[in-house]
Structure 1
């Protein structure tokens, strides 16, 4: 068969190489219904197993979302505190940070989606776009029209092709194709419209984009037709405003290994093991009745269950007859249960492994080490998030024709164990000895979760001061004795 001709919607070779891993992870994140719908892809059929029996086993196979739980846990780490802008950001940048995607998402909410997507698939991207305006429009014209830069979150699975090259002496994206499918109204129904947006950049030229749409011709064949095109005009800048966020191990321009792919494989292993356990428990709870010493009855049925008495017919040639049950050995059930517990324990360790601080060639980890303040993979990812957000603000400032001097604050102090007793004791003793100030003490209590993150030191000092200003009760003097009047006991 001849190789199909490539077109605008054709993924790159790097995309094709990662498709299987991304498909596995996305199926797992979709949950039990998607996994069961995949059938034999994730739960193989036994030899000689009938279709109906397989459907029954598939329907009752348990699903435990250990992978999704680990991903949510890791992805939430940098967001105990809000993602913020450092001092010095312009008012226009601050306004955009309150609604970065023009859909109501503030900087923290948008960053959370980027971070989770990066951990899930190994990469994510932010496209900084701008509404189409007349090339001669001034900044005042843009303000009157309400035009402003906005960010678009781009999943790795929507980046069909990504090629890096040199633009103006720096490494930058020179060709990009993004999938932009949408569901649109079709009378009283709906239809899926397939689109691909193509970007091209070259040294000394204004970056160009083309929006392609898949259309069906009169002959029934589908082709890609140009819907519209335009230019990315950011002053003298000639790069495509795409900021890339990586968490996995990169292999080339686009290929990446998702950091949790091994955990995803273990999730399927757990699913298959739990299916076996469920099947064995079914046999153990409903054992098969076995008759020996006589032929199978040719008429009637044998009722088995509560309040039923089974009588064995006479045996042939005086043979002893009896009924017995066939069921799994209890030791096998215990072994399978322990195997599942071991898989879950391994998954929890693997899911928390990126939180383990790295110090040289560490060969053993402990809970105390995991909770210690040190460099870890998740901290590296959080720093990578900071970099990609700042790069997106650079593109934003270019659209606004401002100096790109924005610094983003992302929390990386999440390796601290909440309510850890040893550091809290050290804080208390340091404060008692006056080695640290009251505000430093409060800051330490906030860090370890004793005080809320929105604790206001100024308001606290005012409250403490007001407690020391309680009104002094008025003293009444007896005019005859000249002594204070003692009020009667209540």
Structure 2
């Protein structure tokens, strides 16, 4: 039925349950505040104005987003290697692989970040409408060629697949896209549409109002055929649970980050209360009260009392310790993706052995490598090249222990300025990577005496 073209399938709905949470966390403090009570519940008996003020003062500790960025930075700290078996013209296309100015390295990094954060995305190898162009020479002169499109998990609505020659193969794919069209002399309007792909053909559906009714329905807007007798789409997984189905490998970190958001709000509230002492008066009668350095209060009653009541501070200390412990647990969860699984202790063993010896991030990168190779092959098939060739993504980043892995994440944060030198030193000492006898003050003096490294200026000059 045409009314279902915009609807998500049951499998997509199950995956999509995590998407609003992840989108809010990646959107930072502004997005988390906009989510309101969904992620920061209103307390019983808390007035609407009090809740609004508490929500407006809440700030996000960006553990989930920052961890996704740091992990993505590991494999893409070095440029992608384009193999010699990649045809020359396809290798040239890799300098602007999506026709939006992104080279293959930048495009692949964005795909990796999305796979890590959302658990699934895909690469569509599209080809522009080449109407009126009949020869290869005309095609090259017009600049018409295949290009990659990054399809986000949130855009996928559903699919159908069947096993063909022993391989699970897409026979239908539906996804949302937004196109811009001119609106008046200067304006533009965004139009949401559903693209449906079949082997060898495609359809575009748009929403339209029914005749003599305020209701809307989805109608066929455009359609056409392609020379490629397959759906040119390759899925990329974070943690695969089935064909075209994936879950975020860091979904538990996302929930912990929400816990931290809520706990931090509680801590800010109690700090606000504790910082304002309450003036307590007992049996003062009608005696006037003036608070100031040059004033005094006189009372006739022998049991009269006037004093400030302050918070004891124990709850504040407990809350502060819990926040610090939660932040440490979040770092550990992110670091687990870098730890090589038991059985192999070196990166060399990992590379030469099977998947059982890989860390989770290396497995994700290997899957993405395969996906990009498949996408290059689809690009080759579009232009009748026999082979698309292969690429290689840097994967020499697995570590043997959780302590070492979490230290890697902290070091990257230190390099980009989001974690101090002293905190990095203290964390290394706490993990047993630095002698417990060393102190930061002494170490700073030793660092100042270091000779400049070859090719680098002395920071003390």
Structures share fold, TM-score greater than 0.5 = yes
- 1:148 and 2:145 aligned: yes
Question: Unaligned regions of 5+ residues in structure 2, if any?
Answer: 351-357, 412-452, 456-461
- 1:285 and 2:272 aligned: no
Match of 2:389 among 398, 403, 406: 406
Q: Secondary structure at the match of 1:291?
A: strand
Corresponding residue of 2:189? 191
Match of 2:364 among 381, 384, 391: 381
Q: Secondary structure at the match of 1:180?
A: strand
Q: Secondary structure at the match of 1:162?
A: strand
Q: Secondary structure at the match of 2:96?
A: coil
Corresponding residue of 2:297? 311
1:312–1:76 CA distance, 2 compared to 1 (3 A): farther
Matches within 5 A, 1:67-466: 67-134=64-131, 137-167=134-164, 169-187=166-184, 188-201=186-199, 207-218=200-211, 219-234=213-228, 238-250=229-241, 252-293=242-283, 304=291, 307=293, 309=295, 311=297, 313-315=299-301, 320-360=303-343, 374=350, 375-415=358-398
What is the rounded CA distance, in whole Å, between the counterparts of 1:152 and 1:189 in structure 2? 26
- Native 8 Å contact 2:115 2:238 kept in 1: yes
Corresponding residue of 2:425? none
What is the rounded CA distance, in whole Å, between the counterparts of 2:195 and 2:341 in structure 1? 41
Question: Unaligned regions of 5+ residues in structure 1, if any?
Answer: 202-206, 363-368, 420-449, 453-490
Give 1:373 shift. Answer: 7.3
TM-score, normalised on structure 2?
A: 0.79
CA-to-aligned-CA distance 1:165-215 (integer Å, 9 cap, x gap): 1245532111111101234443355533110000123xxxxx221011112
- Native 8 Å contact 1:355 1:370 kept in 2: no
1:226–1:119 CA distance, 2 compared to 1 (3 A): same
1:197–1:314 CA distance, 2 compared to 1 (3 A): farther
- Native 8 Å contact 1:163 1:254 kept in 2: no
1:38–1:382 CA distance, 2 compared to 1 (3 A): same
- 1:13 and 2:10 aligned: yes
Corresponding residue of 1:458? none
What is the rounded CA distance, in whole Å, between the counterparts of 2:305 and 2:349 in structure 1? 69
- Native 8 Å contact 1:62 1:278 kept in 2: no
Give 1:255 shift. Answer: 3.4
- Native 8 Å contact 2:174 2:196 kept in 1: yes
TM-score, normalised on structure 1?
A: 0.75
CA-to-aligned-CA distance 1:267-308 (integer Å, 9 cap, x gap): 11111111111111111110222223357x7x99x665x537
Aligned residues: 396
Give 1:90 shift. Answer: 1.6
What is the rounded CA distance, in whole Å, between the counterparts of 1:121 and 1:293 in structure 2? 63
What is the rounded CA distance, in whole Å, between the counterparts of 1:241 and 1:135 in structure 2? 23
What is the rounded CA distance, in whole Å, between the counterparts of 1:190 and 1:309 in structure 2? 68
Q: Secondary structure at the match of 1:97?
A: helix
Q: For the aligned residues, what is the CA RMSD?
A: 2.8
Give 1:389 shift. Answer: 0.5
What is the rounded CA distance, in whole Å, between the counterparts of 1:88 and 1:78 in structure 2? 22
